[in-house]
Chains A and B, each alone.
Chain A
Amino acid sequence: MIKLLKVEWMKIRGYNAFIVISAFFALGVFASNYLAYSFKKNVIDPADPTGLISAGSPFGFPNVWQTVSYYSGLMLLLPGLLLLILVTNEFTYRTHRQNIIDGISRNQFTQVKLLMGVIIALVSTLLVFIAALLFGFFVNTGSFSLTGIGNVWFFFLKALTYNFIAILIGVLVRRTGFAIAVFFIYTALENGISILLLVWAINIKKDHNIDLGNMGNYLPMNASDGLLYSPFDSFTNMANKFLPADYTWLVFSLAIIYLALFYFWSQRRMLKSDL
């Protein structure tokens, strides 16, 4: 597998899209967090001295792990987009066929793409970890703490989900432009359906006193999204009276099940179909 990873690296190291998207993502992680930090400091805090919307210091330890993971999560479409392009490029240039002709098995071809998804998720997570450390020390409102670092792990799970969905769409759709459209439309559509499901769950809770949980988080992308909560605690706490419960264990289990589904579906598609 090391050999195959080296081959993947040879494919992408001189690829402009890889360099540009990676740079945008790295920049986006810091920029999105800095914007949120600046907005909290310069807009919310002066307007909300009682801490009704957000109390405390979201960018100080230990809250910074959750805050940076949450805002960086908003940038995760970029690594997904990168993987989508890397997968569909193979179909566009028909190099998936040539790789297999030259001596990679179909199984290895899929495995190494999925492994790339894991590696890109790991590198993204490392970047988030570093960003959280930097923000935490920069804001310096509390002493260093690893409490809440589990959010960084949830970020990894979310990154992996986005990457695996991108790979699956790439393998199923094959054409770059069409696949990118499907990726973005699917993301928007799932978020829309997720809100409808949440409203439905709220109504059921209100009318029948049955708490089905936040059903919006039971969908593939939203399952891993739902594990990362908004850092505006006070605001969320107020809303929680009306919202269904967060069954974290259920959402986490679903996120893992969806990951396994994307993994095996991508693999099966490559193993069984004509290339």
Chain B
Amino acid sequence: MTILSVENLCKNYGRVQALKGVSFSVPKGTVFGILGPNGSGKTTMLGIIMDILKPTSGSYKLFDADPDETFRRKIGTFLETPNFYHYLSAQKNLEIAAAIKERGADDIPRVLELVNLTQRKDSRFSTYSLGMKQRLSIASCLLGDPEVLILDEPTNGLDPVGIAEIRQLIKQLHQQGKTIIMASHLLDEVEKVCTHVAILKKGGLVATGDVNEILATEDIVEVGATDVKQLASIIGNMQGYNSIRENDKMLQLFYPVGTANIESINKYCFSNGVVLNHLQLKKKSLEAKFFELTN
């Protein structure tokens, strides 16, 4: 079953195109990361899916059906900022959320314990720190143990321990078979918890699919010699790398992950009459891959 399918979704704010015909689908049981820099359209897209923004064109389906409010009740969603009644306690705010969702009222103690807010459950929301507000939002999402969660930047405002806890929680939920759709601008976060990813850039979809395929990194081997032109000519006949980049002092050879063998490169060059004065294996960073995809 497809949890969410988005079909050619467009959203314009005046002349600004916030979404430009985005299409993708989220299979059941995945941790689906929506990745993109600030302003790439992640929250706009989730806002449309949650019916708080109206699309200019395009459509989407939830649970393979045309969406209405009853489907939203089955999803635990945290979008952008923690939204609660400031004058009410965490307990009362969760009671309201449970009443709207029509489930989870008896689940409030469990979710408060999960996010370490049991001791402050009777404090007014306005007295909470940003991190506590964020954790209360996560607790609200978990009410009634939903099969699907949509989390928009869930670790914003959390301290390092809180971030690690949320990541651990997401992994646990995934192991329980839940589907999690998570928007983030943090590559590290997506790499650590997501199984699938869609990358957005300026409102357009750059890539979507299995996270290991889309964000697969490459091995980079840097080679240098006194005569770089001669080095380039012999390297040109060498096999095994995907691409080559030349600069004034050295060459960069791009290999599929785990296939670069610097010993054999050294041997090949020496046997072809070139003595290397620089040979180094570098892992291409995820960040560099992300920049490559989004720039």
Contacts and interface: CB of A to CB of B under 8 A. Distances in A.
Interface of A: 3, 6-7, 10-11, 14-16, 89, 93-95, 97-106, 108, 272-275
Contacts of B72: 100-103
Given A97-B52, A272-B54, 14 more contacts: A11-B88, A11-B96, A95-B83, A98-B84, A98-B97, A99-B100, A101-B77, A101-B79, A102-B73, A102-B100, A102-B140, A103-B101, A105-B51, A105-B69
B75 to A, nearest CB: 8
B127 interface: no
Contacts of B73: 102-103
A7 B97 CA distance: 9
B84 A7 contact: no
B50 to A, nearest CB: 5
Q: Give me the 9 closest cross-chain CB pairs, A-B, nearest first.
A: A103-B73, A98-B83, A94-B83, A102-B100, A105-B69, A275-B52, A101-B50, A103-B72, A97-B52
The secondary-structure label for the interface of chain B is loop
A69 B86 CA distance: 36
21 contacts: A3-B99, A3-B102, A7-B96, A7-B99, A10-B99, A14-B87, A14-B88, A15-B87, A98-B97, A100-B50, A100-B52, A100-B72, A101-B77, A102-B100, A102-B101, A103-B73, A103-B101, A104-B69, A105-B51, A108-B69, A275-B53
Contact of A104 (B87, B88, B100): B100
B53 A103 contact: no
- Counting chain A CB atoms within 10 Å of each CB, the highest count among B86, B92, B100 belongs to B100
B70 interface: yes
A131 B89 CA distance: 36
A274 B87 contact: no
B270 interface: no
Nearest to B137: A98
Contacts of B54: 272-274
Interface residues of B, number: 29
A6 B99 CA distance: 8
B36 to A, nearest CB: 20
B77 A10 contact: no
Interface string B7-48: 000000000000000000000000000000000000000010
Nearest to B53: A274
Nearest to A103: B73
Contacts of A273: 54
Majority SS at the chain A contact face: helix
B99 A105 contact: no
Contact of B52 (A6, A101, A103, A108): A101
A94 B102 CA distance: 21
B113 interface: no
B259 interface: no
A106 B86 contact: no
B268 interface: no
B81 interface: yes
A261 to B, nearest CB: 23
Given A10-B92, A11-B96, A93 B51 contact: no
Contacts of B53: 274-275
A89 B87 CA distance: 10
B189 interface: no
Contacts of A98: 83-84, 97
Contacts of A11: 85, 88, 96
B153 interface: no
Contacts of B218: none
B219 interface: no
Nearest to A16: B87
Nearest to A271: B54
Contacts of B79: 97, 101
B108 to A, nearest CB: 13
